[in-house]
Amino acid sequence: MILNLCVLTPNRIVLDSEVKEIILSTNDGKIGVLPNHSSIATAVDIGLLRIRLKDQWLTMALMGGFVIIDNNEITVLVNDAEKDSNIDPQEAQQTLEIAEANLRKAEGKRERVEANLALKRARTRVAAVNMIS
C-alpha cells in the first residue's frame, strides 16, 4: 500500500509524491501515518515532517497549518515548508542565533510571543538540516 502526499503552501506545491509513511508534528503531538490510517483533519505545528520514500527518509521544516488524511491521501496545507536539502545550514544557524538574541531582549508580551515563534521556526529549520536520514 502507498500513501499519496501533497505538501502545499499558499504559493507553491512543495511535494506531490507517493510515500510509504510520514511522521508529522501536530498541535497535539507527533503522529505517524501508514497506509489505511483513519481519516482525520488536524492542525500542524511548527515542526518537522519526516517522509519515507521507499528506503530513504526526507525531512521538511513546516511552519504551521493543517493536514487532512483520508483514504490514503494526505494533504498538508502550511504557511511555509522547506526540504532539508534546500536549507543552508550556516544561514539556518545564524538565524537561530539572531532569534535567540531577539528573545533575550524582547520587551512586552507581544514582542516575546513574536520572538518565541521566530525562535521555534529557526530551531525547526536547524533540526531539519541536522536530522540523520
pLDDT in tens, 22-56: 999 999 999 999 999 999 999 999 999 999 998 89
Q: Are residue 10 and residue 73 in the same domain, yes or no?
A: yes
Residue 29: the pLDDT is: 93
The 10 Å CB-count burial string (b at 16+, else e) for 81-94 is bbbbeebeeeebee
Number of domains in the chain: 2
80 and 26 together in one domain: yes
Range of the domain at 34: 3-84
CATH number of the domain to which 63 belongs: 2.60.15.10
**Pair 47, 17 in one domain:** yes
* Averaged confidence pLDDT in the chain: 95
Q: What is the DSSP letter of 39?
A: P
- What are the residues whose beta carbons fall under 8 Å from the beta carbon of 99, sequence distance 6 or more? 115, 118, 119, 121, 122, 123
Strand, coil or helix: 55: coil
| Pair 15, 74 in one domain | yes
Q: Within this chain, do residues 70 and 117 fall inside the same structural domain, yes or no?
A: no
The CATH number covering residue 101 comes to: 1.20.5
The closest alpha carbon to 82, from 70, 73, 91, belongs to: 91
Within this chain, do residues 28 and 67 fall inside the same structural domain, yes or no? Answer: yes
pLDDT, residue 55, reads: 86
Could you tell me the pTM of the whole model?
0.90
- 80 and 22 belong to one structural domain: yes
The whole-number pLDDT of residue 132 equals 55
Claim to verify: residue 27 and residue 79 sit in the same structural domain: yes
Q: What is the pLDDT of residues 106-127, one digit of tens each?
A: 999 999 999 999 999 999 999 9
pLDDT, mean of residues 11-29: 95
pLDDT beyond 60 at 9: yes
At residue 63, does pLDDT exceed 50?
yes
